[in-house]
Amino acid sequence: MAELFDIKNIQKAKDIVRDIALITPLQRNERLSEQYDANVYFKREDLQPIRSFKLRGAYHKIYKLSDAERKLGIVCASAGNHAQGVALACNKLGIKGTIFMPVPTPKQKLNQVRMFGGENIETRLVGDTFDDAYAAAQLFKDQSNSIFIHPFEDKDVVIGQATLALELIEQAQDPIDYILVPIGGGGLISGVLHVFKTLSPNTKVIGIEPEGAPAMQQSLENGKNTELNSIDPFVDGAAVRKVGDVAYDLCDKYLDKLVLVSEGKICQSILKLYNSEAIVVEPAGAMSTASLKMIGEEIKGKNVVCLICGGNNDITRMAEIKERALLEAKLLHYFIVRFPQRAGALKEFVADVLGPKDDITFFEYSKKNNRSNGPAVVGIELKNPDDFDPLVKRMKSKGFYGDYINNKPDLFQFLI
């Protein structure tokens, strides 16, 4: 069973990390504090130079390498933020590195890695997920004898991440009742548990995972660290098939609660943070605020800290984020609509079937001359979820209804 680190080692790491990482602010959020009748604070790690806490662990690990190890060069695998931390650390310390990233990594993160690393870093895109990139990086390590910098399964990396928690306790003017921590591979939650269970044992540490990648939840339920067969890679900063062994042991022993949040709720939180506070977060960075709905009654009157762990969001993803948010709110619905192949059918659908506030957001039609009805895939955005049943009733009464796609995952993913 993993035991807690000596807090003195984390205090030493804080001095090392301060060479490159900022002391990020702890900010009270008035909107969420009022909404949940609590004192809700944001720990703004999205304001780090690489817009993520990952800089702390990467720099601490690489800084502590011996001169002989530094000459061998380093290699890492990352979905983006760890890569940026490694890249900036290599550039600052003059070390050569090779970074493996999944092919779907947002371009914004890839470009940042190349910018922070400069001539010291080479990037290689491999596979669809972090796990694919990890396997390629391990092979490269064996062939080149480079030093592998693991994003979470490494003591010095975890100690670096733990400096965030130590800094947070020093900033808090009142005792922290709850801290909400996103879980990916487990480096951050490990660091938080080491510090809080030593210095603030009464604080409840709540881990947050995306529904599409619940590796820690499955592991805790199974009583052993378990690898998932498949994951939804949307929350790229937290979507792993298997958490670290040390993180699993720590969570099994010390974690107070684990909460799963849907990707749709995460998207809603991303949009709300941007529209209300002008805070740009990536999906993993919005997990803590998205989880507040799940524990709202529990935190009334309490001091709650949400770790805003990353802000590397690619603007090209916003259309998908908006769509997932609307689907979660039951405001966006997709149908197969059967249009009579006669003049005026579409006009009739718009005038007599759609409600006055309904909007067509997607329309794909294929005319078949030998059929009396031509099918179309139609996406309709509603202003109110209560408008759904009347819409379906009108479609059926007018003979337009073919099928509802939202509740058919295979068909939905194929068509939309």
Q: Please spell the DSSP secondary structure of 69-115, one letter per residue.
A: HHHH-EEEE-SSHHHHHHHHHHHHHT--EEEEE-TTS-HHHHHHHHH
| Pair 73, 185 in one domain | no
Instruction: Flag whether 141 is in a domain.
Output: yes
Instruction: Flag whether 2 is in a domain.
Output: no
pLDDT tens digits for range 91-114: 999 999 999 998 988 787 888 899
> Structure tokens of 131?
């796990």
Out of 4-8, 115-119, 176-180, 226-230, which region has the weakest mean confidence (pLDDT)? 4-8
pTM over 0.95: no
Out of 14-23, 88-97, 371-380, which region has the weakest mean confidence (pLDDT)? 371-380
Mean pLDDT, residues 140-166 taken together: 96
Q: Is the pLDDT of residue 410 over 90?
A: no
| Pair 313, 408 in one domain | no
| Pair 37, 71 in one domain | no
Write the CA distances from 397 to 44, 114, 160, 354, 379, integer angstroms.
53, 57, 63, 13, 19
- Give the three-class secondary structure for 382: coil
| Pair 294, 209 in one domain | yes
**pLDDT given at position 1:** 47
Mean pLDDT, residues 288-299 taken together: 95
Instruction: Flag whether 1 is in a domain.
Output: no
| Pair 233, 168 in one domain | yes
Bridge partner list, 373: 340
Mean pLDDT, residues 276-298 taken together: 96
| Pair 49, 62 in one domain | no
| Pair 116, 229 in one domain | no
Look up the CATH number of the domain holding residue 62: 3.40.50.1100
Please give the helix or strand (H or E) that residue 122 lies within, else none.
Answer: strand 121-125
Give the per-residue SS3 of 4-72. Answer: CCCHHHHHHHHHHHCCCCCCCCEEECHHHHHHHCCEEEEEEHHHCCCCECHHHHHHHHHHCCCHHHHHH
Residue identified by tokens 């762990």 is 309
Chosen domain end from 268, 297, 322:
322
pLDDT tens digits for range 52-102: 999 999 999 999 999 999 999 999 998 789 999 999 999 999 999 999 998
Domain containing 391: what range?
A: 330-415
CA atoms of 46 and 381, how far apart (whole Å): 32
- Give the three-class secondary structure for 330: coil
Contacts of 284 (CB under 8 A, 6+ apart): 182, 184, 235, 236, 237, 238, 309, 310
| Pair 314, 179 in one domain | yes
- Within a 10 A sphere around the Cβ of 128, how many other Cβ atoms? 11
Instruction: Flag whether 143 is in a domain.
Output: yes
Mean pLDDT, residues 13-24 taken together: 96
The CA-based angle 39-40-45, given to 5 degrees, is 145
pLDDT band at 145 (very low <50, low <70, confident <90, very high): very high
pLDDT band at 5 (very low <50, low <70, confident <90, very high): confident
| Pair 175, 291 in one domain | yes
Look up the CATH number of the domain holding residue 402: 3.30.70.260
CA atoms of 235 and 323, how far apart (whole Å): 15
| Pair 79, 104 in one domain | yes
| Domain count along the chain | 3
pLDDT band at 46 (very low <50, low <70, confident <90, very high): very high
> For residue 360, which amino acid is it?
I
**pLDDT given at position 30:** 98
Contacts of 413 (CB under 8 A, 6+ apart): none
| Pair 197, 317 in one domain | yes
pLDDT tens digits for range 325-373: 999 999 999 999 998 878 888 999 999 999 999 999 999 887 665 556 7
> Structure tokens of 14?
């804080």
The CA-based angle 168-307-44, given to 5 degrees, is 75
Mean pLDDT, residues 280-305 taken together: 96
| Pair 275, 318 in one domain | yes
Q: How many CA atoms lie within 13 A of 263 on its CB side?
A: 18
Strands 39-44 and 26-28: antiparallel
pLDDT band at 407 (very low <50, low <70, confident <90, very high): confident
Please give the helix or strand (H or E) that residue 168 lies within, else none.
Answer: helix 155-171
